[in-house]
Amino acid sequence: MPAELLGAHTPIKNGLGGAIREGKRIGCTAVQVFTKSPQLWKAKEISAEMVADFKAAQAETGITEVVVHDSYLINMASAVEEGREKSILGLTDELNRCAQYGIRYCNSHMGAHVGQGVEEGIRLLVEGAKRVLANSDPSVILLMETTAGSGSSLGATFEELKAVLDGLHGDARVGVCVDTCHIFAAGYDLRTPETYAETWAKFESVIGFDRLKAVHCNDSLKPFGSRKDRHAQLSEGEIGETPFRLMVNDERFRHIPILLETPIENDGHERDLAKLKSYIA
Ligand SMILES: [Zn+2]
Ligand SMILES: [Zn+2]
């Protein structure tokens, strides 16, 4: 059976309700949003009206699967204590904002070790995530996003994410979001049926599909293994259409939100969504 939850990151200029309606307009059955500006720490309080409009939009559109993406400022592995504290409080707030809207998933880049080394970085992520989970609403699941490994960002290998999961004793409130551009840039090939199968087999053996809660569906402007995070329109980048064609027909992804974060110029998301749908056999 084909994938049922195809969507995109949609803008919140008309609130989260507006983002859901925009998702419906372009053909989404799942949506990713920010709940605040991702470039700022501060956030507008969520009012009862904002929540009511979001729920009304969900009822109107039938879009129930929503993922929140956290702020770009968060680094729970910062070398500076003040930065870590701000990040832990910031991510806790992101999860609690999800709970206010009744949203289940909060996706996070978690952090970069900034020269302290992978081991220390992972230790800090585990300590930070423990506090985030302890101080946030238990209805919300924290998703760790795979990274391209640019700079010292953690989560560029499945093993690093597994180490964080292990540090959290496999807490059921932690899942993984795989970004296809990021894993490709980090050295996991997907371009042929063989490499697609190998990469997902590695994912299954290291992390397990039961932890996969979302996919960011992006082609890559930069070459394989470049460790550079630049998204491209589907089938127009270095990855090409093969893995996206396979994914939407892969039973393992049937109930996983597959979310575009490709360039939005010239109706980019609409065009990419149409491509994804056309790949369904
Ligand atoms: Zn991201
Ligand atoms: Zn992503």
Kindly give the confidence (pLDDT) of every residue in the chain, 281 residues in length, as a single tens digit, with 9 standing for 90 and above. Answer: 899 999 999 999 999 999 999 999 999 999 999 999 999 999 999 999 999 999 999 999 999 999 999 999 999 999 999 999 999 999 999 999 999 999 999 999 999 999 999 999 999 999 999 999 999 999 999 999 999 999 999 999 999 999 999 999 999 999 999 999 999 999 999 999 999 999 999 999 999 999 999 999 999 999 999 999 999 999 999 999 999 999 999 999 999 999 999 999 999 999 999 999 999 99
What local confidence, expressed as pLDDT, does residue 17 receive? 98
pLDDT per residue as tens digits for the range 32-54: 999 999 999 999 999 999 999 99
End-to-end CA distance of the chain: 9
Q: How far is the CA of 142 from the centre of ligand 2 (A)?
A: 14
Give the helix/strand (H/E) hosting 145: strand 141-145
**The predicted structure's pLDDT at residue 268:** 97
pLDDT at 230: 98
Distance from the CA of 147 to the center of ligand 1, in angstroms? 8
Tell whether 70 is covered by a domain: yes
For tokens 């259409």, the residue is: 241
Q: For residues 241 and 245, what is the distance between their CA atoms, to the nearest angstrom?
A: 6
* Ligand closest to CA 231: 2
Ion ligand 1 residue ranges (Cβ < 5 Å): 145
Question: Looking at the domain assignment, is residue 273 inside a domain?
Answer: no
**Does the residue 248 lie in any domain?**
yes
Q: Is the distance from CB of 64 to CB of 58 less than 8 angstroms?
A: yes
Gap from CA of 30 to ligand 1 centroid (Å): 16
Q: Tell me, yes or no, whether 267 lies in a domain.
A: no
Give pLDDT, residue 159: 98
User: Which residue pairs, CB below 8 angstroms and at least 24 apart, start in 230-233?
Assistant: 230/181, 231/181, 231/261, 231/262, 231/263, 232/181, 232/262, 232/263, 233/262, 233/263, 233/268, 233/271, 233/272
145 alpha carbon – ligand 1 mean position (Å): 6
Distance 38 CA to ligand 1 centre (A): 11
Cα separation of 158 and 255, whole Å?
21
pLDDT in the model for residue 92: 98
Q: Ligand 1 center to residue 77 CA distance, Å?
A: 16
> Helix H segments across the chain?
15-26, 48-61, 81-101, 118-134, 158-167, 180-185, 193-206, 242-248, 268-279
Measured in angstroms, how far is the CA atom of residue 40 from the centroid of ligand 1?
16
pTM of the shown model: 0.98
Domain membership of residue 18 (yes or no) is: yes
Closest ligand to the CA of 69: 1
What is the reported pLDDT for 271? Answer: 97
Quick check: is 88 in a domain? yes
In a domain, 207, yes or no: yes
pLDDT score of 93: 98
Q: How confident is the model at residue 142, as a pLDDT?
A: 98
In the prediction, which pLDDT does 20 show? 98
Cα 31 to averaged position of ligand 1 atoms, centre (Å): 14
Q: What is the CA radius of gyration of the chain?
A: 18
* HEC sequence for 29-61: CEEEECCCCCCCCCCCCCCHHHHHHHHHHHHHH
Structural domains counted in the chain? 1
| Domain CATH for 177 | 3.20.20.150
- Compute, in angstroms, the gap from residue 146 CA to the centroid of ligand 2: 8
Question: Which ligand is in closest contact with the Cα of 181?
Answer: 2
Residue 276 falls inside a structural domain = no
- Domain membership of residue 38 as a residue range: 6-260
Those residues whose beta carbon sits under 5 angstroms from the ion ligand 2 are: 179, 216, 261
